[in-house]
Amino acid sequence: MNAQFADKVVLVTGAGGVLGRTTSLAFAQQGATVVVADVNQAGVDETVAQIQAQGGAASGVVVDVTDSESVKAMVDTAVSRHGGLHVAFNNAGILDGGTPVGHHDEDVWNRVISVNLTGVFLALKHETAHMAAHGGGAIVNTASNLGAHWRLAGMSAYSTSKAGVSFLTRTAALEYIRYGVRVNAISPGPIDTPMSYLQGESREQRDARIAPSVPLGRVADPQEVANAVLWLSSEKSSYVVGHDHVIDGGATA
């Protein structure tokens, strides 16, 4: 086992989904103790079980990232269980799509902004408070190439929320680097997860739809994105601060 994150406590939100689970497993494989957080208990349990089956260390916590007390409890639980918090991957998010602004349901808009943007804000609020008081750390937020880098009709709430994550990341990075907390973001393009499919779409149909818009010609494997998260969380990127790392196969080049 590569021990790059030995003795590190790593918190991952959205860890019951494909990218969160893949990244949680990758951290554990490199020696981290992973705190698996998600709104879905079954997803939490499955990710913890997979990590432990591979000989890794993990514990789970259910969190609602839109609720400040729930997010604070998540951070407090990570610290009390494992003695600290060194890395956080704020990855929880949801998708909307297909509706022009003039017809967008306001409840859907509010939900997407609340989970994708406010959820990252609340995670940063409580994570930075601990890290700044305990010697620093590394935080990676999941933005998207749909937002600050690229726009797509029908994706107003999602694109707005993810552009907000990009700019929130840069602001937090400037505010907290003085305390030794490095804050960065990833902005993936389409990843091989359920979120990359339209309703009723087959894999072949999905691939044919996406390929023309991605110079590399395919969706990303989740491990390719996880690799970037681990790099931004490691000492190998020690001089990288406030960076929004686009991982989209050249779609926004």
State how far the alpha carbon of 42 is from the alpha carbons of 39, 63, 80, 90, 202, in Å: 9, 12, 23, 19, 26
Q: What 3-state class would DSSP assign to 155?
A: coil
Pairing of strands 87-90, 137-142: parallel
Tokens of 65: 């990232």
Alpha helices in 8-53 (DSSP H): 18-29, 41-53
Distance CA 157, CA 81 (A): 36
**Active-site residue, from 158, 176, 179, 197:** 158
Cα angle 183, 186, 187 (rounded to 5 degrees) comes to 140
Q: Is 158 a catalytic residue?
A: yes
Residues catalogued as catalytic: 158
